[in-house]
Amino acid sequence: MFQNITAEKLHELHLNGDVTLVDVRSEAEVARGIIAGALHVPLHALPTRVAQLDNTRPLVLYCHAGGRSAQGCLFLAGKGFREVYNLQGGILAWLSYGFPLDSRPG
């Protein structure tokens, strides 16, 4: 199972370097900006790239509004990942707090 996380809480954890961020949006969406340091793994590619993710660290997945990332979280939880979080409201929630975006994946 996974849990939702707020943009405020994610910002706090991200500043401390306590999580790995995974952006599951499309290439076109990522071209408009990404949270600094996030890995870009489109949702459709997650099954083929799951071995690249560190299951010993908390993972936070996000998409545009939270739907696709929730699907990704369910998938990873089913693969044995224990600390998986979905950014509630997606990147829209992140932006609503005025948090910054970067221009390229980490």
Which residues are tagged catalytic? 63
Amino acid (1-letter code) at residue 33: G
CB-based contacts of 51: which residues, under 8 Å, 6+ apart? none
* Distance in angstroms (rounded) separating the CA atoms of residues 43 and 6: 20
Which runs of consecutive H residues, i.e. helices, occur in 1-106?
7-16, 27-30, 46-49, 67-78, 90-96
